[in-house]
Structure 1
Amino acid sequence: MRYAQGGGLTDERRALREKLRMEAAERFRQGDESPVIAHDLRVSVRSVQRWRGAWSQNGTRALASKGPASLPLLSDELFAVLERELAKGPVAHGWPDQTWTCRGSRS
Protein backbone atom coordinates (compact mmCIF):
# COMPACT_ATOMS: atom_id res chain seq x y z
CA MET A 1 0.00 0.00 0.00
CA ARG A 2 1.14 3.56 -0.65
CA TYR A 3 0.16 6.79 1.01
CA ALA A 4 0.01 10.07 -0.90
CA GLN A 5 3.38 11.84 -1.17
CA GLY A 6 5.02 9.12 0.87
CA GLY A 7 2.71 10.12 3.71
CA GLY A 8 5.59 11.99 5.22
CA LEU A 9 6.18 8.86 7.24
CA THR A 10 9.42 7.89 8.90
CA ASP A 11 10.63 4.33 8.50
CA GLU A 12 9.32 3.58 12.00
CA ARG A 13 5.84 4.95 11.24
CA ARG A 14 5.79 3.11 7.91
CA ALA A 15 6.61 -0.14 9.76
CA LEU A 16 3.86 0.56 12.29
CA ARG A 17 1.32 1.12 9.51
CA GLU A 18 2.40 -2.10 7.83
CA LYS A 19 2.01 -3.95 11.14
CA LEU A 20 -1.56 -2.63 11.41
CA ARG A 21 -2.34 -3.83 7.89
CA MET A 22 -0.90 -7.27 8.68
CA GLU A 23 -3.02 -7.44 11.84
CA ALA A 24 -6.03 -6.54 9.71
CA ALA A 25 -5.13 -9.32 7.24
CA GLU A 26 -5.18 -11.84 10.07
CA ARG A 27 -8.59 -10.55 11.13
CA PHE A 28 -9.83 -10.85 7.51
CA ARG A 29 -8.81 -14.53 7.59
CA GLN A 30 -10.77 -14.94 10.82
CA GLY A 31 -13.85 -13.44 9.17
CA ASP A 32 -14.10 -10.31 11.33
CA GLU A 33 -16.21 -7.40 10.06
CA SER A 34 -14.54 -4.20 8.84
CA PRO A 35 -16.11 -1.88 11.47
CA VAL A 36 -14.91 -4.14 14.29
CA ILE A 37 -11.38 -4.28 12.88
CA ALA A 38 -11.34 -0.51 12.35
CA HIS A 39 -12.44 0.12 15.93
CA ASP A 40 -9.89 -2.29 17.39
CA LEU A 41 -6.99 -0.93 15.29
CA ARG A 42 -8.13 2.70 15.69
CA VAL A 43 -8.27 3.37 11.95
CA SER A 44 -11.11 4.38 9.65
CA VAL A 45 -13.57 1.83 8.35
CA ARG A 46 -12.77 3.05 4.83
CA SER A 47 -9.08 2.20 5.33
CA VAL A 48 -9.99 -1.30 6.44
CA GLN A 49 -12.30 -1.67 3.44
CA ARG A 50 -9.49 -0.64 1.07
CA TRP A 51 -7.09 -3.04 2.78
CA ARG A 52 -9.66 -5.84 2.55
CA GLY A 53 -10.13 -5.19 -1.18
CA ALA A 54 -6.38 -5.28 -1.82
CA TRP A 55 -6.01 -8.37 0.37
CA SER A 56 -8.85 -10.24 -1.35
CA GLN A 57 -7.30 -9.60 -4.78
CA ASN A 58 -3.60 -10.15 -4.03
CA GLY A 59 -3.27 -11.56 -0.53
CA THR A 60 -1.09 -10.31 2.29
CA ARG A 61 1.66 -9.14 -0.05
CA ALA A 62 -0.72 -6.43 -1.31
CA LEU A 63 -0.64 -4.92 2.19
CA ALA A 64 3.14 -4.79 2.49
CA SER A 65 4.79 -1.38 2.59
CA LYS A 66 6.35 -0.36 -0.69
CA GLY A 67 8.54 2.31 0.90
CA PRO A 68 8.38 6.04 0.31
CA ALA A 69 6.44 7.17 -2.75
CA SER A 70 9.40 9.10 -4.11
CA LEU A 71 13.10 9.52 -3.57
CA PRO A 72 14.36 12.57 -1.68
CA LEU A 73 14.99 15.58 -3.91
CA LEU A 74 18.25 16.39 -2.12
CA SER A 75 21.13 14.06 -1.38
CA ASP A 76 22.22 13.80 2.25
CA GLU A 77 25.21 16.02 1.45
CA LEU A 78 23.10 18.76 -0.13
CA PHE A 79 20.59 18.57 2.70
CA ALA A 80 23.43 19.13 5.20
CA VAL A 81 24.56 22.18 3.19
CA LEU A 82 21.00 23.53 3.21
CA GLU A 83 20.74 23.06 6.98
CA ARG A 84 24.01 24.95 7.54
CA GLU A 85 22.95 27.82 5.28
CA LEU A 86 19.53 28.12 6.91
CA ALA A 87 21.17 28.13 10.36
CA LYS A 88 23.18 31.22 9.32
CA GLY A 89 19.91 33.12 9.06
CA PRO A 90 18.41 35.49 6.49
CA VAL A 91 20.76 38.43 7.18
CA ALA A 92 23.77 36.34 6.13
CA HIS A 93 22.04 35.93 2.79
CA GLY A 94 21.30 39.61 2.19
CA TRP A 95 17.85 39.95 3.72
CA PRO A 96 17.09 42.97 5.95
CA ASP A 97 16.12 41.10 9.13
CA GLN A 98 16.22 37.71 10.82
CA THR A 99 12.72 36.72 9.69
CA TRP A 100 12.53 33.93 7.14
CA THR A 101 9.71 34.20 4.64
CA CYS A 102 8.69 31.64 2.03
CA ARG A 103 10.13 33.92 -0.64
CA GLY A 104 13.36 34.39 1.30
CA SER A 105 13.90 30.73 2.00
CA ARG A 106 13.38 29.83 -1.67
CA SER A 107 15.99 32.30 -2.91
Structure 2
Amino acid sequence: MRGNVALRGRLAAAHGAWLVLEDEAAFSMTPPHSRTWSRRGHTPVIRVRGRPRRRVSIAALTCYKPGERSRLVYRPRRDDGRRDGHKSFAWTDYRDLLIAAHHQLGGPLVPIWDNLNVHKAADLRKWAAARDWLTIHYLPPYAPDLNPVEGIWSLLRRGWLSNIAFSTPEHLMQRIRRGLRHIQYRSDLIDGCLTETGLTISP
Protein backbone atom coordinates (compact mmCIF):
# COMPACT_ATOMS: atom_id res chain seq x y z
CA MET A 1 0.00 0.00 0.00
CA ARG A 2 2.85 2.40 0.73
CA GLY A 3 4.05 1.88 -2.83
CA ASN A 4 0.57 2.56 -4.17
CA VAL A 5 0.31 5.83 -2.25
CA ALA A 6 3.76 6.85 -3.47
CA LEU A 7 2.68 6.06 -7.05
CA ARG A 8 -0.44 8.17 -6.64
CA GLY A 9 1.77 10.95 -5.30
CA ARG A 10 3.90 10.83 -8.46
CA LEU A 11 0.81 10.74 -10.67
CA ALA A 12 -0.66 13.71 -8.79
CA ALA A 13 2.59 15.64 -9.25
CA ALA A 14 2.65 14.79 -12.95
CA HIS A 15 -0.78 16.34 -13.36
CA GLY A 16 0.01 19.33 -11.15
CA ALA A 17 -2.43 18.14 -8.48
CA TRP A 18 -2.31 18.35 -4.71
CA LEU A 19 -2.23 15.05 -2.85
CA VAL A 20 -4.53 15.44 0.16
CA LEU A 21 -5.19 13.04 3.03
CA GLU A 22 -8.25 13.40 5.24
CA ASP A 23 -9.38 12.34 8.70
CA GLU A 24 -11.87 13.34 11.37
CA ALA A 25 -11.55 13.58 15.15
CA ALA A 26 -13.82 14.51 18.05
CA PHE A 27 -12.76 16.62 21.03
CA SER A 28 -14.80 16.72 24.23
CA MET A 29 -14.98 19.00 27.25
CA THR A 30 -12.94 16.41 29.15
CA PRO A 31 -9.32 17.28 28.36
CA PRO A 32 -6.64 14.72 27.46
CA HIS A 33 -4.24 13.89 30.30
CA SER A 34 -0.56 14.74 30.34
CA ARG A 35 2.15 14.20 32.92
CA THR A 36 2.80 16.90 35.49
CA TRP A 37 4.62 17.41 38.79
CA SER A 38 3.06 17.06 42.25
CA ARG A 39 3.95 16.14 45.79
CA ARG A 40 4.31 12.40 46.35
CA GLY A 41 0.95 10.88 47.25
CA HIS A 42 -1.03 13.97 46.16
CA THR A 43 -2.41 13.37 42.66
CA PRO A 44 -3.58 16.65 41.08
CA VAL A 45 -7.31 16.74 40.36
CA ILE A 46 -8.77 19.15 37.81
CA ARG A 47 -12.51 19.73 37.94
CA VAL A 48 -14.08 20.16 34.52
CA ARG A 49 -17.23 22.19 33.97
CA GLY A 50 -19.84 21.31 31.37
CA ARG A 51 -21.31 18.04 30.18
CA PRO A 52 -18.72 15.55 28.91
CA ARG A 53 -20.88 14.65 25.90
CA ARG A 54 -20.52 18.17 24.52
CA ARG A 55 -17.91 17.87 21.81
CA VAL A 56 -16.47 19.46 18.71
CA SER A 57 -15.70 17.38 15.62
CA ILE A 58 -13.06 18.43 13.12
CA ALA A 59 -12.47 17.19 9.58
CA ALA A 60 -9.02 18.09 8.27
CA LEU A 61 -6.94 17.75 5.12
CA THR A 62 -3.15 17.69 4.96
CA CYS A 63 -2.17 18.84 1.48
CA TYR A 64 1.12 18.14 -0.30
CA LYS A 65 2.58 19.09 -3.65
CA PRO A 66 6.24 19.04 -4.72
CA GLY A 67 7.67 22.54 -4.82
CA GLU A 68 4.83 23.98 -2.69
CA ARG A 69 4.48 24.65 1.01
CA SER A 70 2.39 21.94 2.67
CA ARG A 71 -1.04 23.08 3.83
CA LEU A 72 -3.65 22.19 6.42
CA VAL A 73 -7.34 22.81 5.69
CA TYR A 74 -10.00 22.04 8.29
CA ARG A 75 -13.66 22.52 9.13
CA PRO A 76 -15.30 22.18 12.59
CA ARG A 77 -18.69 20.76 13.51
CA ARG A 78 -20.11 21.25 16.99
CA ASP A 79 -22.35 18.66 18.66
CA ASP A 80 -24.98 20.37 20.81
CA GLY A 81 -25.45 17.25 22.96
CA ARG A 82 -29.09 16.69 21.98
CA ARG A 83 -30.13 13.13 21.24
CA ASP A 84 -31.62 14.14 17.89
CA GLY A 85 -28.61 16.20 16.84
CA HIS A 86 -26.23 15.05 14.10
CA LYS A 87 -22.94 13.95 15.66
CA SER A 88 -20.99 13.26 12.49
CA PHE A 89 -20.23 14.91 9.19
CA ALA A 90 -22.67 14.51 6.32
CA TRP A 91 -21.53 14.01 2.72
CA THR A 92 -22.31 17.67 2.07
CA ASP A 93 -19.79 18.66 4.77
CA TYR A 94 -17.05 16.71 2.95
CA ARG A 95 -18.13 18.24 -0.34
CA ASP A 96 -17.82 21.73 1.13
CA LEU A 97 -14.41 20.89 2.65
CA LEU A 98 -13.09 19.73 -0.73
CA ILE A 99 -14.47 22.82 -2.46
CA ALA A 100 -12.80 25.06 0.13
CA ALA A 101 -9.48 23.24 -0.33
CA HIS A 102 -9.75 23.53 -4.12
CA HIS A 103 -10.30 27.28 -3.86
CA GLN A 104 -7.48 27.78 -1.36
CA LEU A 105 -4.94 25.63 -3.18
CA GLY A 106 -5.86 26.77 -6.66
CA GLY A 107 -5.40 23.42 -8.37
CA PRO A 108 -6.75 19.89 -8.84
CA LEU A 109 -6.96 17.56 -5.83
CA VAL A 110 -6.28 13.85 -5.33
CA PRO A 111 -7.88 13.07 -1.95
CA ILE A 112 -6.99 9.80 -0.23
CA TRP A 113 -9.24 8.91 2.67
CA ASP A 114 -10.58 5.93 4.60
CA ASN A 115 -13.56 3.72 3.85
CA LEU A 116 -16.04 5.51 6.10
CA ASN A 117 -19.57 4.94 4.81
CA VAL A 118 -20.19 8.62 4.19
CA HIS A 119 -16.99 8.84 2.11
CA LYS A 120 -18.57 6.32 -0.26
CA ALA A 121 -22.07 7.82 -0.21
CA ALA A 122 -23.73 7.70 -3.61
CA ASP A 123 -24.42 11.44 -3.64
CA LEU A 124 -20.79 12.28 -2.84
CA ARG A 125 -19.44 9.90 -5.49
CA LYS A 126 -21.84 11.31 -8.08
CA TRP A 127 -20.83 14.86 -7.21
CA ALA A 128 -17.10 13.99 -7.31
CA ALA A 129 -17.41 12.24 -10.67
CA ALA A 130 -18.69 15.49 -12.21
CA ARG A 131 -15.59 17.47 -11.09
CA ASP A 132 -12.61 17.31 -13.43
CA TRP A 133 -10.37 18.73 -10.68
CA LEU A 134 -11.08 15.87 -8.28
CA THR A 135 -9.89 12.24 -8.22
CA ILE A 136 -10.65 10.26 -5.05
CA HIS A 137 -8.76 7.21 -3.78
CA TYR A 138 -9.23 5.12 -0.64
CA LEU A 139 -6.93 3.81 2.07
CA PRO A 140 -7.05 0.14 3.16
CA PRO A 141 -9.87 -0.78 5.61
CA TYR A 142 -7.81 0.17 8.69
CA ALA A 143 -4.59 2.07 8.13
CA PRO A 144 -4.26 5.01 10.55
CA ASP A 145 -0.47 4.65 10.35
CA LEU A 146 -0.66 5.80 6.71
CA ASN A 147 -2.61 8.95 7.49
CA PRO A 148 -0.59 12.09 8.40
CA VAL A 149 -3.71 13.78 9.81
CA GLU A 150 -3.42 11.38 12.77
CA GLY A 151 -0.19 13.22 13.58
CA ILE A 152 -2.04 16.55 13.49
CA TRP A 153 -4.50 15.28 16.11
CA SER A 154 -1.60 14.07 18.26
CA LEU A 155 0.11 17.49 18.11
CA LEU A 156 -3.15 19.19 19.03
CA ARG A 157 -3.94 16.94 21.99
CA ARG A 158 -0.42 16.94 23.42
CA GLY A 159 0.10 20.66 22.94
CA TRP A 160 -2.90 22.96 23.04
CA LEU A 161 -5.52 20.75 24.70
CA SER A 162 -3.66 18.86 27.43
CA ASN A 163 -4.29 19.55 31.13
CA ILE A 164 -6.79 22.36 30.52
CA ALA A 165 -10.13 22.64 32.32
CA PHE A 166 -12.42 23.92 29.58
CA SER A 167 -15.07 26.25 30.98
CA THR A 168 -17.41 26.25 27.95
CA PRO A 169 -17.66 24.64 24.51
CA GLU A 170 -16.54 28.01 23.14
CA HIS A 171 -13.37 27.79 25.26
CA LEU A 172 -12.67 24.33 23.81
CA MET A 173 -13.23 25.57 20.26
CA GLN A 174 -10.97 28.57 20.87
CA ARG A 175 -8.09 26.31 21.94
CA ILE A 176 -8.63 23.97 18.98
CA ARG A 177 -8.57 26.87 16.51
CA ARG A 178 -5.47 28.34 18.14
CA GLY A 179 -3.61 25.05 17.86
CA LEU A 180 -4.67 24.39 14.27
CA ARG A 181 -3.78 27.93 13.20
CA HIS A 182 -0.31 27.47 14.69
CA ILE A 183 0.13 24.22 12.76
CA GLN A 184 -1.12 25.86 9.56
CA TYR A 185 1.76 28.35 9.74
CA ARG A 186 4.30 25.58 10.42
CA SER A 187 4.59 23.59 7.22
CA ASP A 188 7.49 21.69 8.80
CA LEU A 189 5.03 20.18 11.28
CA ILE A 190 2.70 19.12 8.46
CA ASP A 191 5.68 17.63 6.60
CA GLY A 192 6.77 15.83 9.77
CA CYS A 193 3.35 14.17 10.07
CA LEU A 194 3.83 12.79 6.55
CA THR A 195 7.34 11.60 7.39
CA GLU A 196 5.97 9.70 10.40
CA THR A 197 3.83 7.58 8.04
CA GLY A 198 6.89 6.48 6.05
CA LEU A 199 5.35 7.89 2.86
CA THR A 200 7.05 10.28 0.47
CA ILE A 201 5.85 12.48 -2.36
CA SER A 202 8.49 12.85 -5.06
CA PRO A 203 8.50 15.34 -7.94
Give me the TM-score of the superposition, normalised by structure 2.
Answer: 0.20
Higher strand share: 2
Whichever of the two has the greater Rg, that structure is 1
Q: Decide which structure has greater helix share.
A: 1
